[in-house]
A = this chain, B = another copy of it.
Amino acid sequence: MQKKLGIVLISLAVTTGALGQAAHYIDPMLGVDGGGNTFPGPSLPFGMIKPGPDIGDNKGNAGWKAKGDINGFSQTHLNGAGGGPKYGNILIQPTTGIMRAGNYASPRADEQASVGYYRVRLARYQTNVEITTASRAAIYRFTYPAAEAKNILFDVSHMLSSTNDYGEAQTVVSSSIHILSPTEVAGRTTLVGGWNKQTTPYTVYFYASTDTAATSWGTWNGDVFHEGSKQQEGGVWVSSGAWLTFAAGERPVVQCKVGISFVSEAQAKRNVATEIPGFDFDGIRAQAIAAWEKALSTLEIKGASEQDLQVFYTAIYHTMLTPVDRTGENPVWQSDEPYYDDFFTLWDTFRSSGPLLTLIAPDRQAQMVRTLVDVYRHDGWLPDGRSGNFNGRTQGGSNAEFVIVDAYLNGLPGIDWETAYKGMIKDAEVSPQDQTREGRGGLDDWKNLGYLSIEGVDRPASKQMEYAADDFEIAILASALNHPEDHAKYLKRSQNWERLWDEQATDGGFTGFIWSRHRDGTWKTPFNALEGCTWGGDTFYEGNAWTYSTFVPQDVAQLVERSGGNQNFVRRLDAFFAVPGRYDVTNEPGFLSPYLYIWAGRQDRTADQIRAILANSFHAGRQGLPGNDDSGAMSSWYAFGKMGFYPNAGQNVYLIGSPAFPEVSIHLGNGKTFVIEAKNVTAENKYIARAEWNGQPYTKAWFRNDDIMRGGRLVLTMSAQPVAWSTGDLPPSSSAKSKTQ
C-alpha cells in the first residue's frame, strides 16, 4: 500500500493540474518482476522508441531485472515477451572520469517510474538519470556531480542477449558510429537472431544531440579506445561505440535527445527534429502523460478502489505498448499502408487483446490488420509473430485468421478483405518452407487424413485444435465474401478436431480427451493427461489434454456433447480448475475455458472461476502478473474479467462473466457510450441475479459487438447467491447453427 501511494504521490507532485482521471493510475513497474517481463521505461501508446535500463546479464526480456547493476539505457524494448530476448539497441550511459575499456555498469538507487517518466540514480557516478519520451525520439536528463569530468557513452554493439538456443540469441553483425559535432552523434547497429530467429538482418539507426558542447570525445573498437577519434566501425562480436566528454566545473545538467529510425540516420534525425525540437524535458513529459490520458479516456470506471484502478489502467496501458507503430519506417518495401511491427504473437493476442483494442482503439486495430494484409502482400505470408521486419515464430497455430475475421465482424474500416482472404487460404492450403516461421506445418496430413499425425508434425494435437478453429474463421469470411464452396469446405474441416478426441483416454474419473495419433491411426500410448508443453514434442504446446479438451471455440455445443452432456461437462470443468496442474492461467489456450460453463447453462460457475482467478493471480506491484504479459494478452484477459465480459474472438460474441466495478463506461469510436452497471457489487456479491438492457429484462449470458455499438446500458444486479438468470439462447456453436439452418 505504501508503495502504491508513493507512486501516485510522485505523479501528482510533478503533474499538478495536468492529470486526467486515468493515466496517473498507471504503474510502469507493475509486472516487471516475477516473470511478467513488462517494460518499465517511458513509452507513448504503440510508441516506436522504448528507452529503458538494461541490467545485470542483459538477459531481461524488457531489459529490466530485479538484481544487478545498470549497464546503460537502450532505446528499443519489447513488453511482456518470453523466450530469447530481442532488441536492447543503441545503449546510452552517463559516466564520470576517464574513458577506457571496461565495465561501465553502476549500482542503482532511488529507481522510480510513472507514466511517461523513469528516473534512477547511478551510485557509481553519483549521477541522476531521468528519461521521458515522444513516439520515435526520447530525451535524457543527466545530473552529474559538478566536480567531475562528465561523459555520455554511446554503445552501438550493445543488445539484450541470451545463450544460443538455435538462433534465439541476437548477434550484432555490424555497427558504425560517428561524432558529427561537439553536440551530435549518429550511427547504426545491424543484428540477426532474437526470439523470432531472424536471419535477414534488421538495422536500428540513431541520431543524438546534446544541449551542451563536448570538450573532448573518442571512439572504441573492441577494447581499444581512440581518444579524439570521430568514426568507428564494429563487426560480429566486435564492440564499438563513441563518447562525448563535457568539462568538469560547468553546470551539472546535460540533456541528450535521441531519435531512432529503421530506415536511415537522416530519418532518425528528422524524428528528433519533428518530435523534440528543443530541450524541453518537462514539456515532452507533459505530452506523454496527455497522450496516455487520451488513450485511456475511452474507459471510465466508477466506484472502484484506488488499487483496482491502478491494476486495471496499467493492464490497459500494457495492451498499448506493443505492437509498435512504424508507419513510414519500413525498410523492406514501399507502401502507403500503415506499418506496425512486434507482433508477439497473434496466437497470444487474438483471444483478448485484439478484441479489447477493437473496442477501445479501433483505429489502431484497423491499422494493425492492414499491416498484416500488407505483410502477406509483400512477404507472401500472413505472420503469426513478427519482429524486426521478419516473420516468426508461429506458436500453437498460425492465427491471423482470427484477427482478420474479428476485424471483419466488427466492421473495422479500410481493410482489403479479398487480399486478406487470399492470405488465409494460403495458410490453409500451402505448406510453408519453414513452419516455425509462418503458415501451418503438417498440412498434408490435415488435408489427406483429416488429422495431424505424430509422424507428420511436432505438437500435432494442439495444432489440430488451432487449425480446426482457424478453418472455421475462414468459413465465416468465405460466406461473407460469397465463396459458398469454400464456406462448406472449411466448415467441414473445422470439425476435424473430433478426430483427435480419444474416447478411451481417462483421467481423474473423466473419459474422452484430445490426444495424439500416429499416421496409422493408432493412439499415442500411454495417455498422460498432464503431459505438458514440449517444443518439438508430439502432443501439445503450452497446455495439456485437459486444456485442449476445452479449446473448441467454434463449436462448444458439440464439445459439451462429446464430454457427456451438460452435467458431465460442468463436472469436468470443475475438476479442471480444482486440481492443481491441470489449468494454467499463464498460458493463452485456457483463456476461454472459465466462460464455457455458459454453454452448459451455468453462468454462475463462470462467475466463480473468473473471480477466483482474478483474485489469486493478478495484483498490484512488481510481481503483479502471473506470467509473461505476452504483449498485453494477460493484461487484456484481466481487464475484460474485471469489466464483466469476455470475447469469443472471431465470432463477434461476448460472454458475460462477473463485473467487479460498480460502473464501466466505454466511450465508443462512433460517439456513443456503452455502460455496464453492476448494482450491489462486492467481493461476495459476485453472482448475477438479473440483467436489464436499456431497461428491458435480458436473459442471455452473451451479446454481440453490434449490441454494444448502439450504445446503451446493461444493468446487472449482483447477489451473493447464484441465480439461474440466463434462461435465453445459448451463445452460438457451429454445429448448433448448421442444425438449425
Contact = CB atoms under 8 A, between A and B. Distances in A.
B239 A192 contact: no
A21 interface: no
Nearest to A166: B239
Specify which of A199, A437, A535 lies most central, judged by the most chain B CB atoms within 10 Å of its CB: A199
Contacts of A59: 163
Interface string A40-79: 0000000000000000011100000000000000000000
B434 A222 contact: yes
B103 A167 contact: no
A163 B58 contact: yes
A176 B197 CA distance: 19
B434 A224 contact: yes
Interface string A167-206: 1011111000000000000000000110001110000000
B193 A236 contact: yes
Given A164-B159, A167-B238, A239-B167, A436 B222 contact: yes
Interface stretch (A25-33, A94-102, A503-511): A94-102
Interface in A232-252: 235-239
Contacts of A161: 163-164, 169
Contacts of A58: 163-164
Nearest to A57: B163
Contacts of A167: 222, 237-239
A718 to B, nearest CB: 48
Task: Give how many copies assemble into the complex.
Answer: 2
A525 interface: no
Contacts of A303: none
A454 B97 CA distance: 11
Specify which of A102, A166, A222 lies most central, judged by the most chain B CB atoms within 10 Å of its CB: A166
A327 interface: no
Interface in A498-517: none
Given A98-B454, A223-B435, A436-B222, A237 B162 contact: no
Contacts of A199: 222, 235-238
A581 interface: no
A155 to B, nearest CB: 9
A707 interface: no
Contact of A169 (B197, B237, B434, B457): B237
Given A167-B222, A433-B224, A193 B102 contact: no
Nearest to A100: B458
A11 interface: no
A169 B694 CA distance: 64
Contacts of A237: 164, 167, 169-171, 192-193, 197-199
Nearest to A58: B163
Specify which of A100, A237, A454 lies most central, judged by the most chain B CB atoms within 10 Å of its CB: A237
A238 B435 CA distance: 15
A436 to B, nearest CB: 4
B102 A535 contact: yes
A455 interface: yes
Given A163-B59, A163-B163, A236 B236 contact: yes
Interface in A274-330: none
Interface string A406-444: 000000000000000000000000000111110000000
Interface string A212-234: 00000000001110000000000
Contacts of A435: 223-224
Contacts of A57: 163
A537 interface: yes
A536 interface: yes
A102 B223 contact: no
A603 B536 CA distance: 64
A171 to B, nearest CB: 5
Contacts of A222: 166-167, 197, 199, 434, 436-437
A737 to B, nearest CB: 38
6 contacts: A58-B164, A101-B436, A166-B239, A192-B236, A199-B236, A222-B434
What are the 8 closest A-B residue pairs judged by CB atoms, nearest first?
A102-B536, A223-B436, A193-B237, A167-B237, A161-B163, A161-B164, A166-B239, A224-B434
